[in-house]
Structure 1
Amino acid sequence: MNKDNILPSDTNMKITLFSELSVGISANSVLFFAHLCMFFEENRSKPIDLCIAFLSLTQLMLLVTMGLIAADMFMFQGIWDSTTCRSLIYFHRLLRGFNLCAACLLHILWTFTLSSRSSCLTTFKHKSPHHISGAFLFFCVLYMSFSSHLFVLVIATSNLTSDHFMYVTQSCSLLPMSYSRTSTFSLLMVTREAFLISLMALSSGYMVILLWRHKKQVQHLHSISLSSKSSPQQRATRTILLLMTLFVVFYILGTVIFHSRTKFKDGSIFYCVQIIVSHSYATISPFVFVFSEKHIIKFFRSMCGRIVNT
């Protein structure tokens, strides 16, 4: 493993990566602050605001951790020890899992919240925050146990060169695993993530069915001109579908690029593109929330008004 040639000499990749991280960190900070403030307001204390705040906080921490890892890739030139390597790589992998869990549970909570009174999900509406908190803790423990092998496999290799190591940063590398262990961990990861993505897809599909039924009922009661106006349920469903589409597209692209990287023996271009693509959802999703939820814009306008008045 020749670390001098592992990264592309073109600085465009480095600029693109750090630009994405900077934009994502700023956007998630704004979204986290807005929903946290709205949650603690007396007239608007909805569990959905706390869930979105937690998702944005998870994405914020994920991008900050990736920024530290990228700094060692492009700037520090291998100054970390094994403890630092293991801690940061494990924490980053853990945050990626938390991000998937938070996105999945947000879709489910959104489905419970927007379901009609005649829906079979009505009985779970008031109990959903407690059930979702328990489910999230369960998946967190699951991710922590499944990623524990990184404490053994990640080592500091700043002064070592070997074709058997997989490059992570200038300081850190992954030790090779046997075929059976690699297959086992890959199967567990695919099963876990396929299950969570399936839950997201089922909740999104259920919301599409509810929206279609609601639209048919409205067309019977109102004229076409009145029913063409988007309701809050329609806007929320479009947001859910857009977030779901973005997540699936970036996940599939990241998986394809990862396997391409493995096939071409740690190609530097594939590695950088994989990092950029795998963090694109965390960068773009805050803008979807901000521009689709009008109360966020109203909240910032009211805050600006208070600041001006003071």
Structure 2
Amino acid sequence: MEASDVAVGTIFLAQTVAGALGNSSLLLHYLVLYFTGCRVRHTDLILQPMIVANFLTLLCKGDPQTVAAFGVKIFLSDFGCKLLFYLHRVGRGVSIGSTCLLSVFQAIKISPENSTCSELKLNIPKYIGSSIYLSWILYLLVNVVFLMYMTGRRSNKNITILKNYGYCSTVHQDSTTHSLHAALLTFPDALCLGLMLWASSSMVLILHRHKQKMQHLHKTSSPRSSPEYRVIKTILLLVSTFVSFYTLFCIFQVCLSVIYNPNWFVVSTAAIFSGCFPAVSPFLLMNRDSTASRIHSAWVQNRKNANHVRKIYII
């Protein structure tokens, strides 16, 4: 085993473990909030499926890549390769869709009352659940193509191989079919990326106008101290992180498409960038608000409600 394989395997292992711990901590955060009776925010409903999608992305890609990097090349059957690649792509797609939905929701939420989004601003919370279900259904259907041409390495003796992913391979496709599959898989991601860029630009513009207005009115309070500003800052950081890693991933993905038989370095680097966002995103979201602060706020609100009810009863 070469030193480069050990280094790549260590990176995959560290990325998978860190991402799993981060997403587990975030999941535990929401479980604690649920059992303590805290109010569920609309953004929480969007982030919860993102956690599940991050788990799928990391475990279905990071684990086999780690095993393959440490020298075990043939350990999956055809069914195992198809299932892992399919679940990885579904998880990655839902993670992208959830990030897009989160940024669009926040951009519409902070839009001015006299904007074109004013009517949608009142109704968008009703569409969150259906949008999440639609995202899962869309990526479950779109990524069915991976079930058609993924194959395990142990059954590749009589098949012309197009791409070798270390532990799985893709069978040969003609150029027309390959182009159609690429367009089908790329269109939802490109649409989500465009919506995220629009939402981020809108939020930056709205914050800039609000800051100028506050300075003009000589207000002493800063918008930076408001919870809404912290949420917007976190979402903008999340979107910029996604766009950065997604751009790097696309560069290596293009190399995989162009090169007939790519080497192990290109395949591994593309896989590493594919897992960066699911591994990093939970740590960015943890800075939004802590479990203790949410529980304390819920406890204070419950005390106020109890005192109010007691006063009414006394009166």
Shorter-chain TM-score range: 0.7 to 0.9
- Does residue 169 of structure 2 align to residue 167 of structure 1? no
Distance 1:237 1:23 in 2: 25
Q: Deviations over 1:267-290 (max 9, x none)?
A: 111111111111111111111111
Of the candidates 1, 5, 15, which is equivalent to residue 20 of structure 1? 15
User: Residue in 2 aligned with 1:286?
Assistant: 282
Gaps (5+ residues) in structure 1?
Answer: 303-310
**Aligned ranges for residues 75-86 of structure 1 at < 5 Å?**
76-86=72-82
Residue 232 of structure 2 corresponds to: 237
Secondary structure at 1:187 match in 2:
helix
Amino acid at match of 1:198: G
Which amino acid in structure 2 is aligned with residue 63 of structure 1? Answer: L
Matched, 1:138 2:108: no
Residue 181 of structure 1 pairs with residue 195 of structure 2: no
Q: TM-score normalised to the size of structure 2?
A: 0.83
Q: Which residue of 2 aligns with 1:51?
A: 46
Alpha-carbon distance change, 160 to 45 in structure 1, aligned in 2, over 3 angstroms: closer
Paired AA for residue 67 in structure 1: G
Structure 2 distance, partners of 1:270, 1:195, is: 26
| Separation in 1, partners of 2:49, 2:134 | 16
1:195 lines up with 2:203 in the alignment: no
Contact 1:165 1:176 in 2 (8 A): yes
- Counterpart check, 1:123 vs 2:114: no
Cross-structure match for 1:308: none
What is the CA-CA distance between 1:21 and the residue it aligns to?
0.9
Q: Answer yes or no: is the 8 Å Cα contact 2:50–2:98 preserved in 1.
A: yes
What's the counterpart of residue 65 of structure 2?
70
CA–CA distance in structure 2, aligned partners of residues 24 and 285 of structure 1: 8
For residues 230 and 57 of structure 2, the distance between their equivalents in structure 1, rounded to whole angstroms, comes to: 28
Aligned-pair Cα RMSD in Å: 2.7
Question: Displacement of 1:301 after TM fit?
Answer: 9.5
Q: Percent identity?
A: 23
- Corresponding pairs, count: 294
CA distance in 2, matches of 1:148, 1:28: 26
Instruction: Supply the distance in 2 between the matched residues of 1:41 and 1:110 (Cα, whole angstroms).
Output: 26
Greater Cα offset, 228-237 or 189-198: 228-237
Does structure 1 conserve the Cα–Cα contact (< 8 Å) formed by 2:36 and 2:295? no
- Check whether the contact 1:39–1:46 (CA below 8 A) recurs between aligned residues: no
Q: Is the 8 A contact 2:163 2:262 kept in 1?
A: yes
The residue that corresponds to 2:273 in the other structure is: 277
Which structure has the greater CA radius of gyration? 2
- 8 A contact 1:59–1:99 mirrored in 2: yes
Local SS of the residue matching 2:85: helix
The residue type equivalent to 2:33 in the other structure is M
Q: Give the whole-Å Cα distance in 2 for the aligned partners of 1:229 and 1:18.
A: 37
The answer to which of 95-104 and 256-265 deviates more is 256-265
Contact 1:25 1:283 (8 Å CA) reproduced: yes
- Aligned pair in 2 of structure 1 residues 21, 164: CA closer, same or farther (>3 Å)? same
C-alpha separation in 2, matches of 1:299 and 1:96: 29
Give 1:18 shift.
0.8
Distance of 1:241 and 1:232 partners within structure 2: 14
**Residue aligning to 1:87:** 83
- Does structure 2 conserve the Cα–Cα contact (< 8 Å) formed by 1:21 and 1:67? yes
Tell me by how many angstroms 1:220 deviates: 2.5
Q: Corresponding residue for 2:293? A: 298
1:72 deviates by 4.6
Aligned partner of residue 79 in structure 1, secondary structure: coil
CA contact (8 A) 2:5 2:69 kept: no
Instruction: State the shift of 1:141 in Å.
Output: 2.5
CA distance in 2, matches of 1:248, 1:9: 28
Kept after mapping to 1: 8 A contact 2:245/2:276: yes
**C-alpha contact 1:17 1:276 (8 A) present in aligned 2:** yes
Which whole-Å CA distance do the structure 2 matches of 1:301 and 1:65 have between them? 37
Partner Cα distance (1:221, 1:23) in 2: 46
Match of 1:258 among 253, 262, 268: 253
Q: Runs of at least 4 residues of structure 1 off by over 6 A?
A: none
* TM-score, normalization by structure 1: 0.84
